[in-house]
């Protein structure tokens, strides 16, 4: 059994950022990243964005090169997922039977895509890994009819990407009135729907799949509203489930992710969590949050790594997120939910501006719609915790 001062389970962006955070304070301690994929850490946003549109190449998405990791003196143990954690014995066992001891441990395994009920698995795909991207890329190269089920970020971004591939017809089935309806104010979701249709994406809003059947060619989907949709293959974009089994089986506190304190430490001393998996106190409001975005993986990973190395600093970063959908791009901070009260500060065409998400008159979230270089101002506005009405907000972050 090999022993390490710092053991990181999950060789994704959060794990990679944690290794860098450790090295900012401790240049000598031994560090090992364990990953279930054969790939070293890489950035995931290009899987549904730049790789499809020729803006990125596969070799561009890796966090570091092999010589970079060697120069940092960080070891990688890949293609062998951790399957058992013994907090008392401070050991981790992998699928291949390897055992590793640790002084401090970070859980950064992210999540796994939710599957559709009764799905015909050979024709239903998800997008989470580089291997998934390669598989979808090969399918798209054959052309044909693709059905995307779900109006989430992955569903919306992949609809845009696939609609720009030669010979691919895209249908999109989702329960809301427009894409991203769970977070966008209604006028913006409807504007997005209009832009999707203008780019040849066939939308099936306000409907859900109730049964998926195999056909000679692919799949047939029956919906709540009685539609029958034929597809060569299906992409499911119905959300992510945090990978909590390892932590839960080890007796750590689990509740929509691994519950951690403001230092990102779990219920067991010396064991931390970061990235999609971490359920931590919101730095402004204190309520538990779990965020599945790139900036959060970088920030929580680095903070957890530094705290593992002795920083003992509370996590105060307000994570942002972003998306690019055809000619619409946005950045956002805080809680964005269409169930909150919203004030949309935009012209009548909704092409550019800001949407504020309010609870009890307090700004809980800010959406910057084709509105750039305002993230820090949005963070400051949320952190101020002031009661503001439309007159105070109008024009504030234009």
Q: Are residues 387 and 286 in the same domain?
A: no
pLDDT at residue 226 in the model: 96
Report the distance separating Cα 285 and Cα 264, nearest Å. 16
Contacts 24+ apart (CB under 8 A), 22-25: 22/305, 22/306, 22/308, 22/309, 23/72, 23/73, 23/74, 23/305, 24/302, 24/305, 24/306, 24/309, 25/306, 25/309, 25/310, 25/311
Q: Tally the domains of the chain.
A: 3
Q: Are residues 224 and 302 in the same domain?
A: no
Residues across the chain: 398
Q: Are residues 192 and 299 in the same domain?
A: no
Q: Are residues 135 and 211 in the same domain?
A: yes
Q: Are residues 153 and 197 in the same domain?
A: yes
Q: Would 297 be classed as within a structural domain?
A: yes
Q: Are residues 124 and 270 in the same domain?
A: no
Instruction: Say which residues have a Cβ less than 8 Å from residue 334's Cβ, sequence separation at least 6.
Output: 284, 318, 357, 363, 364, 365, 366, 378, 382
Q: Are residues 217 and 366 in the same domain?
A: no
Q: Domain containing 173 — which CATH number? A: 3.50.50.60
- As a whole number of Å, the end-to-end CA separation of the chain is 58
* Domain range enclosing 188: 115-236
Q: Are residues 265 and 182 in the same domain?
A: no
Q: Last residue of some domain: 236, 266, 288?
A: 236
Q: Last residue of some domain: 221, 236, 251?
A: 236
Q: Last residue of some domain: 182, 208, 236?
A: 236
Q: Would 318 be classed as within a structural domain?
A: no
Query: Token pair for residue 146?
Result: 């693709």
At 325 the three-state DSSP class reads strand
Q: Domain containing 342 — which CATH number? A: 3.30.390.30
pLDDT at residue 119 in the model: 66
From residue 36, give the alpha-carbon distance in Å to each of 10, 40, 80, 308, 392: 7, 10, 5, 22, 50
Neighbours of 262 (CB within 10 A): 16
Q: Would 180 be classed as within a structural domain?
A: yes
Q: Would 202 be classed as within a structural domain?
A: yes
Report the distance separating Cα 236 and Cα 124, nearest Å. 7
Q: Would 373 be classed as within a structural domain?
A: yes
Bridge pairing between strands 362-369 and 219-223: unpaired
Give one DSSP letter per residue of 31-76, joined into a string.
EEEE-SSSSPPB-SGGGTTTTTTTS--GGGSBSS-HHHHHHHTEEE
Query: Token pair for residue 379?
Result: 């963070």
Q: Are residues 211 and 291 in the same domain?
A: no
Q: Are residues 119 and 17 in the same domain?
A: no
Q: Are residues 180 and 131 in the same domain?
A: yes
Instruction: Say which residues have a Cβ less than 8 Å from residue 167's Cβ, sequence separation at least 6.
Output: 142, 143, 144
pLDDT at residue 123 in the model: 85
In terms of Cα–Cα distance, which of 255, 226, 220, 9 is closest to 109?
9
Question: What 3 state SS string does 216-261 have?
Answer: CCCEEEEECCCCEEEECEEEECCCEEECCHHHHHCCCCECCCEECC
Q: Would 333 be classed as within a structural domain?
A: yes
Q: Would 314 be classed as within a structural domain?
A: no
Q: Are residues 47 and 79 in the same domain?
A: yes
Helices 13-25 and 294-308, packing angle to 10 deg: 40
pLDDT at residue 379 in the model: 98
How confident is the chain (398 residues) per 10-residue block, as mean pLDDT? 96 98 98 98 95 94 97 98 98 98 98 79 89 97 96 94 96 96 96 97 96 90 95 92 97 97 98 98 96 97 98 97 94 96 96 96 97 97 96 92
Q: Would 37 be classed as within a structural domain?
A: yes
Report the distance separating Cα 176 and Cα 274, nearest Å. 31
């Amino acid at each position: 059994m090999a022993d390490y001062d710092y053991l990181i389970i999950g060789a994704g962006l959060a794990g990679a950022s944690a290794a860098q955070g450790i090295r900012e304070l401790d240049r000598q301690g031994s560090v090992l990243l364990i990953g279930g994929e054969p790939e070293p850490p890489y950035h995931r946003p290009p899987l549904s964005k730049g790789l499809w549109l020729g803006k990125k190449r596969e070799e561009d998405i890796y966090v570091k090169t092999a010589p970079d990791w060697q120069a940092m003196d960080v070891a990688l143990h890949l293609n062998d997922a951790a399957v058992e954690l013994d907090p008392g014995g401070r050991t981790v066992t992998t699928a291949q039977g390897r055992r590793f001891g640790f002084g401090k441990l970070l859980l950064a395994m992210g999540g796994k895509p939710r599957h559709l009920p009764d799905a015909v698995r050979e024709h239903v795909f998800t997008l989470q890994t580089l291997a998934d991207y390669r598989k979808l890329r090969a399918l798209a190269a054959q052309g044909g009819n693709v059905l995307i089920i779900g109006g989430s970020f992955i569903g919306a971004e992949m609809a845009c990407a696939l609609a720009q591939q030669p010979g691919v017809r895209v249908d999109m089935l989702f329960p809301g009135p427009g894409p991203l309806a769970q977070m966008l104010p209604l006028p913006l979701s409807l504007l997005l729907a209009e832009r999707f249709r203008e780019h040849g994406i066939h939308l099936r809003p306000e409907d859900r799949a109730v049964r998926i059947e195999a056909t000679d060619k692919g799949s047939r989907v029956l919906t709540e509203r009685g539609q029958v949709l034929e597809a060569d293959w299906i992409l499911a974009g119905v959300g992510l489930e945090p990978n909590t089994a390892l932590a839960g089986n080890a007796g750590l506190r689990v509740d929509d992710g691994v519950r951690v304190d403001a230092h990102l430490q779990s219920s067991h001393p010396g064991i931390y969590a970061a990235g999609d998996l971490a359920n931590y106190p919101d730095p402004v409001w204190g309520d538990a949050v779990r965020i599945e975005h790139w900036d959060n993986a970088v920030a929580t990973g680095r903070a957890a790594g530094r705290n593992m190395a002795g920083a003992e600093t509370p996590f105060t970063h307000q994570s942002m997120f972003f998306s690019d959908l055809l000619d619409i791009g946005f950045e956002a901070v805080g809680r964005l939910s269409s169930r909150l009260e919203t004030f949309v500060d935009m012209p009548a065409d909704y092409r550019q501006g800001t949407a504020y998400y309010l609870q009890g008159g307090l700004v809980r979230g800010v959406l910057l719609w084709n509105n750039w270089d305002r993230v820090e101002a949005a963070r400051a506005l949320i952190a101020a915790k002031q009661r503001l009405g439309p007159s105070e907000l109008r024009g504030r972050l234009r």
